[in-house]
């Protein structure tokens, strides 16, 4: 009988993995999307890695410390497929998803056996735990909220973080619960789980730092008896592994508050973000537990910001619900351990990306690890139901829900197989999303349907008249149609004066510059482009954003070069460096100075480059002064050869 159940369980889980692979397979044939391009651009910037310096330059492309080096290395191994072959990248993502699904099953079974062992002496308790784990892992693997995490190539960062998080929890629980092992060996397992695996998770993506918090949630809900049985020294060791990381997370969230109060790149304040996120979490949960085709995607920039407790009216109920659930879970964790597990795991998992850090409001992949806890709790609740009509009905509903998740994921994955399908689906599903409408415009333009693209763009502009990205897109499209005139440029200039910050508003200025310098549109002259860039730099929303201002000044230096104005070229490069330091800018300055025969000035520029302003990751991984010294030696040779001193 046991062997039969074991076989049935294995068949069920293997079938789940196969079904998951099959329904995701169409999505593997889809294109690179959205954040894939800026985050994988580092692959374009490096031809090959022939030294530690090359590797350091590649790994230092991300601005923030520690730079997610494990994920970046995984992308580097597939450099040959970038940017033309997304399939191999997506295949690795799917393989990781299936592997993590197996680990989620093992973790859920360990958690289920831990909880059931303290509450029942019945035979078959382990069987209940196994079926609870099967439900949790199937729900996690097949839920449509996971689509963007797997299908968006760059979210391998999330997948790798999840991989090390689940491995870390398994190692920690092994050390916590193996009473038969010597204390030192149990301590090693706990350190590997909460120490080494936390480090690996963080090096994949920063919210890997939440691993010890997940362990704390397990301990305080399902594993309290196991914690109480720890020897005194091991109990202190556990505290040292968990609490510093938890306190670090909380301290970091408070530390970010002053910076969040300053003028930033978002169209919402910190208080508005904190009011909005409970509604975001409610939306996530609705999409997780009520699967419906068309709800899942990358573009949720149309999510309404909460400007007050009753604006919109759902703000106050959502906030009250989150606070009530958190309070009930914290103070009732002994009485309602499964409820506490679901709530504390989920809210804890959202702590970094859905609180005081001024990230965008809504991304589905933020649920990738946080939904493990609720699914385990549901599986345990089902497994512990007494035999009878209620249990049979609950089982039927659970199977029906899993089937609905599978169907929704399958339909959505087919949509991910084509950029055109995605563009049409997201534009129809999210008519108020600027990104969704712009994506549709891009696809229509690529197919030569310029008037249809203009119609979509004009509708979006009527809704968002002061969006700089839409304004630039309209000028570009009018240029492609051959209908651009000076009035269009004057209108864009007016938009730039009052526009809110939009990343595409400044990044697409490069495309306009190329049009202007290529003389593809008579109305768009280099002088007009210079004037537009000046207007955008006069807008505080862009002038006070270092990345935007640095990018614009860097683009303006090309204009100065075209005019043969060396002084202005150097000034624009220095302004770019001042706003957004990049190690290559001083070397570019030196290159222009050398081309003008100003060897001493070029050497002086390289010798006195202020590399203290470079991002910390760059300073740690690359010795830019050594690179400059090599360039200086080359310049001195040129100087001696040409017999020039100035």
Q: What is the pLDDT of residues 135-184, one digit of tens each?
A: 999 999 999 999 999 999 999 999 999 999 999 999 999 999 888 899 99
The gap from C-alpha 630 to its chain's centroid, in whole angstroms, comes to 37
Length of the chain: 646
Instruction: Please list the ranges in the chain whose pLDDT falls under 70.
Output: 1-7, 117-125, 262-264, 644-646
Instruction: Check if the beta carbon of residue 516 is closer than 8 Å to that of residue 475.
Output: no
Grouping H, G, I as helix, E, B as strand and the rest as coil, residue 467 is coil
Instruction: Check if the beta carbon of residue 506 is closer than 8 Å to that of residue 551.
Output: yes
Question: What pLDDT does 29 receive?
Answer: 94
What mean pLDDT is reported for the chain?
Answer: 91
Question: What pLDDT does 1 receive?
Answer: 43
- Rounded CA gap, 378 and 385, in Å? 11
Grouping H, G, I as helix, E, B as strand and the rest as coil, residue 459 is helix
- Rounded CA gap, 589 and 593, in Å? 6
Instruction: Check if the beta carbon of residue 189 is closer than 8 Å to that of residue 175.
Output: yes
Instruction: Check if the beta carbon of residue 82 is closer than 8 Å to that of residue 43.
Output: yes
| Ramachandran angles phi, psi of 12, nearest 5° | -60, -45
Distances (CA, A) of 599 to 118, 517, 562, 567, 627: 78, 29, 22, 15, 17
**CA angle centred on 353, ends 347 and 355, rounded to 5°:** 70
Tokens 């870390």: give the residue.
168
Question: What pLDDT does 645 receive?
Answer: 46
Instruction: Check if the beta carbon of residue 558 is closer than 8 Å to that of residue 513.
Output: yes
- Long-range pairs for 114-117 at CB < 8 Å and ≥24 separation? 114/173, 114/177, 114/218, 114/222, 114/223, 114/226, 115/222, 115/223, 115/337, 115/338, 115/380, 116/380, 116/383, 116/384
Give tens-digit pLDDT for 463-513. 999 999 999 999 999 999 999 999 999 999 999 999 988 888 889 999 999
**Exposure of 47 by Cβ count < 10 A (0-12 exposed, 13-18 middle, 19+ buried)?**
exposed
Torsion of CA 245, 246, 248, 251, to 10 degrees: 180
Q: How close are the terminal C-alpha atoms of the chain, in Å? A: 91
Question: What pLDDT does 118 receive?
Answer: 59
- Rounded CA gap, 614 and 577, in Å? 9
Question: What pLDDT does 263 receive?
Answer: 55
Question: What pLDDT does 123 receive?
Answer: 45
CB atoms within 10 A of CB 78: 17
- Rounded CA gap, 455 and 502, in Å? 21
- Rounded CA gap, 117 and 107, in Å? 15
Dmax over CA atoms of the chain, in Å, equals 97
- Rounded CA gap, 118 and 125, in Å? 10
Instruction: Check if the beta carbon of residue 164 is closer than 8 Å to that of residue 133.
Output: no
User: Over the range 560-569, which residues count as b (16 or more CB within 10 Å of their CB) and which as e?
Assistant: bbeeeeeeeb
- Rounded CA gap, 256 and 261, in Å? 9
Structure tokens at 296: 């899942």
């Amino acid at each position: 009988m046991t062997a039969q159940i074991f076989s049935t369980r294995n068949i069920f889980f293997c079938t789940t993995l196969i079904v998951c692979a099959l329904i995701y397979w169409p999505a593997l044939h889809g294109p690179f999307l959205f954040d894939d391009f800026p985050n994988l651009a580092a692959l374009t910037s490096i031809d090959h890695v022939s030294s530690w310096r090359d590797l350091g330059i590649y790994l230092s492309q991300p601005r923030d410390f520690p730079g997610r080096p494990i994920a970046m290395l995984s992308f580097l191994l597939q450099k040959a497929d970038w940017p033309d072959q997304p399939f191999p990248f997506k295949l690795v993502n799917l393989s990781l998803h299936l592997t993590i699904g197996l680990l989620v099953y093992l973790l859920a079974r360990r958690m289920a056996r831990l909880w059931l062992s303290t509450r029942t002496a019945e035979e078959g308790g382990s069987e209940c735990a196994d079926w609870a784990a099967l439900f949790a892992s199937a729900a996690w693997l097949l839920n449509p909220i996971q689509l963007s995490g797997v299908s968006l190539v760059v979210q391998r960062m999330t997948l790798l973080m999840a991989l090390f998080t689940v491995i870390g929890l398994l190692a920690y629980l092994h050390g916590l619960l193996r009473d038969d092992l010597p204390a030192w060996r149990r301590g090693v397992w706990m350190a590997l789980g909460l120490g080494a695996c936390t480090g690996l998770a963080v090096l994949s993506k920063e919210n890997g730092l939440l691993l010890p918090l997940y362990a704390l949630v397990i301990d305080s809900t399902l594993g309290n008896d196991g914690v109480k049985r720890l020897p005194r020294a091991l109990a202190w060791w556990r505290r040292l592994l968990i609490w510093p990381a938890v306190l670090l997370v909380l301290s970091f969230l408070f530390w970010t508050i002053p910076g969040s109060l300053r003028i930033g790149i978002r169209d919402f304040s910190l208080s508005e973000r904190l009011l909005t996120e409970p509604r975001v979490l409610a939306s996530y949960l609705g999409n997780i537990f009520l699967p419906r085709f068309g709800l899942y995607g990358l573009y949720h920039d149309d999510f309404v910001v909460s400007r007050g407790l009753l604006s919109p009216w759902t703000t106050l109920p959502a906030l009250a619900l989150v606070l009530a659930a958190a309070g009930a879970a914290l103070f009732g964790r002994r009485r309602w351990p499964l409820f506490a597990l679901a709530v504390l795991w989920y809210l804890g998992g959202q702590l970094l990306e859905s609180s005081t850090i001024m990230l965008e409001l809504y991304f589905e992949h933020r649920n990738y690890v946080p939904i493990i806890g609720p699914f385990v709790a549901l599986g345990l609740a089902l497994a512990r139901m007494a035999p009878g009509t209620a249990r049979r009905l609950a089982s039927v509903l659970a199977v029906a829900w899993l089937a609905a998740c599978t169907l929704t994921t399958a339909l959505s994955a087919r949509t991910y197989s084509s950029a055109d399908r995605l563009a049409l689906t997201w534009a129809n599903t999210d008519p108020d999303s600027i990104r969704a409408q712009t994506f549709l415009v891009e696809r229509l333009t690529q197919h030569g349907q310029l008037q249809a693209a203009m119609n979509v763009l004009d509708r979006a502009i009527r809704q968002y008249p002061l969006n700089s990205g839409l304004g630039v897109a309209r000028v570009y499209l009018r240029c492609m149609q051959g209908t651009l005139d000076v009035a269009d440029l004057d209108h864009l200039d007016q938009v730039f004066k009052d526009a809110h910050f939009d990343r595409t508003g400044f990044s697409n200025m490069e495309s306009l510059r190329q049009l202007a310098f290529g003389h593809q549109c008579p109305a768009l002259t280099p002088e007009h482009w210079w004037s537009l860039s000046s207007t955008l730099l006069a807008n505080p929303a862009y002038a006070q954003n270092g990345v935007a201002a640095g990018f614009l000044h860097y683009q303006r230096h090309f204009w100065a070069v075209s005019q043969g104005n060396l002084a202005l070229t150097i000034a624009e490069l220095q302004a770019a460096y001042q706003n957004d330091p990049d190690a290559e800018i001083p070397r570019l300055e030196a290159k222009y100075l050398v081309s003008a025969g100003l060897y001493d000035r070029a050497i002086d520029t390289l010798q006195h480059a202020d590399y203290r302003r470079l991002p910390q990751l760059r300073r740690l991984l690359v010795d830019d002064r050594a690179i400059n010294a090599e360039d200086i030696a080359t310049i001195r040779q040129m100087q001696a050869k040409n017999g020039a001193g100035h």
